[in-house]
Structure 1
Amino acid sequence: MSAEALPVVAVVGATGTGKTALGVELALRLGGEVVNADSMQFYRGMDIGTAKATAEERRGVPHHLLDVLDVTEEASVAGFQQQARTCFAQIRARGRVPVLVGGSGLYVRAALDVLELPGTDPRIRARLERELAAEGPGALRERLLRVDPESAARVRDDRRLVRALEVWELTGRPFASFMPRREYVAPTVQLALDVDRAELHARLARRVEAMVAAGLEAEVRELAGRGLRAGRTASRALGYGQFLDVVDGRASAADAAEATVVATRQFARRQLTWFRADPRVHWLDAAGPGLADRAVQLVQRSRPGPDGP
């Protein structure tokens, strides 16, 4: 079957389930190229702590949207949406299949779904952040409750509080009105790997242990010299915030490793909740036989046209 007859393929789900390896295998079998949808793998130098695929692990498959930002830059869902869709079009023009791989839920939805993203205004955001610093979140939350009660009920952190008010001031519309619909912009099949919970926890612990052994602390120290602390997005990456505490003398490496394991498990749980809420995702047993064969069959059965979606 030609690449043009196949849908966009997305390998999604929780961290530590084997998305990277399956994405590469599918790209090899289907004649595809990988587009990264892990927001922390956008950053140059953040390799060990994000489990970024090495050149050997990529197995000659072209990868896109890796290493596109410095750690001081802020990742943007709107910017990613445009870049990812441009990648899809260019890959299709080469007669190949786009294989989107990552577990950053909103970034995946931005690439695949009908989703209108409001713009940004640095001046408005800076003013709101000054108000937040001077007055605390209470006054801003009360303001949001008046103009956008639905978003006020959902917002759980200061960053999203500022963003919701910025969107209201820019557009006059509630932030909640920009939520994505479950409607693909192009024929797509989403695949996720199902791993037993106890096994996933064990995998995540081993993964963090391997990262520490591979030099995560040294990587964080090097990135700290390049402005990691100032990075609004990069500094929050799993493992990096915890090991910045080691660099700054606030924690031991053992404490940072344990905190990273706990945070990674919590993150994986949130990812599973996000992707299980989407009925379009096909779940595959990661431990079952013939994983790649089963994934290819699902992709081929989901092809566009009279027999597909």
Structure 2
Amino acid sequence: MTAPPLVAVVGPTATGKSDLGIELALALGGEVVNADAMQLYRGLDVGTAKVRPDERRGVPHHLLDVLGVRETASVAAYQRETRAVIEQLRAAGRTPVLVGGSGLYVQAVLDELEFPGTDPELRAELEAELARLGPEALHRRLAERDPAAAAEVLPSNGRRIVRALEVIALTGKPFRATMPTTGTPRYDAVLLGVDRAVDELDARVALRVDRMLDDGLVAETRSLLPEGLAEGRTASRALGYRQVLEALERDPERPDLATIREETVRATRRFVRRQRSWFRRDARIHWLDATGPGAAELPARAREVLARTLVE
């Protein structure tokens, strides 16, 4: 018996991917596999718009809540664990529906990409230098060793600079600061992209941030401080949480909600544009416009694309 296909639902934040993923899983006899890097973290619920268990309509969800906030997310580890889940589902006759907007994580699953390893001692040494000298000094070193990578990595992005210097030291090869949009496919996957008109999506982002604040984003952030959220290298940078942490540093008792909202909306809109740029370069994606009233027809149109593509 032929194994079920892998279906991926991708696109920018706040377009409606999660709901569509559940609809498709129900229609196809499938299960959802998370491809949002920040939804890997336990406790990052409100700020990542994680679908609550009572909203999942009985559809199993995988790769949610698998990391503590102190842990650092790894694309290589995600790739390994997600592929194992996908292959188990397909072997059992269940359709994996990969849902998320973390472009590199999606690509790591779909395509044959290899990621250089890490060396804890070397990483610790570079991070100590970062703390002592600052990111600009390390960026100058990167520019000497790999000008192309330095041109792609912001001088303020200390974490990325450290990773670039680590890879160069370990492999003796240039650091690929930007991954290829497509590689050799691992699966015969069908990719569905969900997007909306820019003005509508900007408005949805603002409403999403308002809802997060109403639903207790600040309280959730405070509750995660004893778990080590502020020290977490990846989780502390999640949109919304980062802005709340900065506000709590300025005023632990009365964080400025207006500033949190403004900064989170602005950062999320920038992130949406980067997501759109990443996914739009992938010619394999079948795009679905969820703008306005047409959003209600999204599941039916997605099923039509799937039926046509799978027959072809």
Relative to the length of structure 2, the TM-score reads 0.92
Residue in structure 2 matched with residue 292 of structure 1 by the alignment: 299
- 2:198 match: 197
Letter in 1 for 2:290: A
Q: Which residue of 2 aligns with 1:44?
A: 42
Looking at structure 2, the residues matched to 248 and 203 of structure 1 have their Cα atoms a distance apart, in angstroms, of 28
Partner of 1:278: 282
- Cα distance change, pair 247–24 in 1 and its aligned pair in 2 (3 A): same
The one-letter code of the counterpart of 1:148 is: D
Name the residue aligned to 1:29: 27
Helix, strand or coil at the partner of 1:302: helix
Change (3 A) 1:290 1:277: same
Q: After the TM superposition, which segments of 4 or more aligned residues of structure 1 sit over 6 Å from their partners?
A: none
CA shift, 1:270, in A, is 0.8
**1:210 counterpart = 2:207:** no
State how far apart, in whole Å, the 2-side matches of 1:178 and 1:234 are.
Answer: 22
Partner of 1:161: 161
Q: Which secondary structure state, in structure 2, belongs to the residue aligned with residue 184 of structure 1? A: coil
Deviation at residue 138 of structure 1 after TM alignment = 4.3
Per the alignment, residue 115 of structure 2 pairs with 117
Deviation at 1:150, TM superposition (A): 2.0
**Equivalence for 2:69:** 71
Q: Which residue of 1 aligns with 2:148?
A: 150
Call closer, same or farther: CA 1:204–1:139 in 2, change over 3 Å: closer
Question: What is aligned with 1:225?
Answer: 226
- Aligned equivalent of 1:184: 185
Corresponding residue SS for 2:183: coil
Q: Deviations over 1:10-49 (max 9, x none)?
A: 1111100000000000000011111101011011111111
Q: Hey, what does 2:17 align to over in structure 1? A: 19
Asked whether the equivalents of residues 5 and 90 of structure 2 are also in contact (C-alpha less than 8 Å), the reply is no
Task: Tell me how far 1:179 sits from its aligned partner.
Answer: 3.4
Counterpart-to-counterpart distance in 1, 2:43 and 2:177: 36
> Aligned residue pairs: how many?
303
| Structure 1 residue identity aligned to 2:165 | L
- State the percentage of identical aligned residues: 57
Which letter maps to 1:215? G
In the TM superposition, residue 177 of structure 1 has moved relative to its aligned partner by 8.8
Q: How far apart are the structure 1 equivalents of 2:175 and 2:90?
A: 33
- Deviation at 1:124? 0.7
C-alpha distance in 2 between matches for 1:195 and 1:116: 33
Tell me: CA distance 1:267–1:28, structure 2 relative to 1, closer, same or farther (3 Å): same
- Deviation by residue 1:130-170 (Cα, 9 ceiling, x = unmatched): 22222333443343334322212211122111111101111
Contact 2:288 2:298 in 1 (8 A): yes
Change (3 A) 1:221 1:97: same
Unaligned runs of 5+ in 1: none
**1:61-117 deviation digits (Å, cap 9, x = unpaired):** 010000001101000000000011001011111101110001011111111111011
> Residue 124 of structure 1 aligns to which amino acid in structure 2?
L
Matches within 5 A, 1:240-259: 240-250=241-251, 251-259=255-263
Is 2:177 the counterpart of 1:170?
Answer: no
d(CA) in 1 for partners of 2:81, 2:170: 23
Q: Secondary structure at the match of 1:248?
A: helix
Q: 1:264 to 1:165 in 2, by over 3 A?
A: same
What SS class does the counterpart of residue 176 from structure 1 fall into? coil
- For residue 247 of structure 1, report the CA deviation from its aligned partner: 3.0
Q: Is the Cα–Cα contact under 8 Å of residues 104 and 179 in structure 2 kept in the other structure?
A: no
CA 248–286 in structure 1, closer or farther in 2 if over 3 Å, else same: same
**1:175 offset after TM fit, Å?**
1.5
Shift of 1:6: 4.3
SS of equivalent to 1:51: coil
Q: Distance in 1 between matches of 2:247 and 2:140?
A: 37
Question: Quick one: distance in 2 between partners of 1:179 and 1:276?
Answer: 14
Q: Tell me the SS of whatever aligns to 2:7.
A: strand
Q: Distance in 1 between matches of 2:177 and 2:135?
A: 22
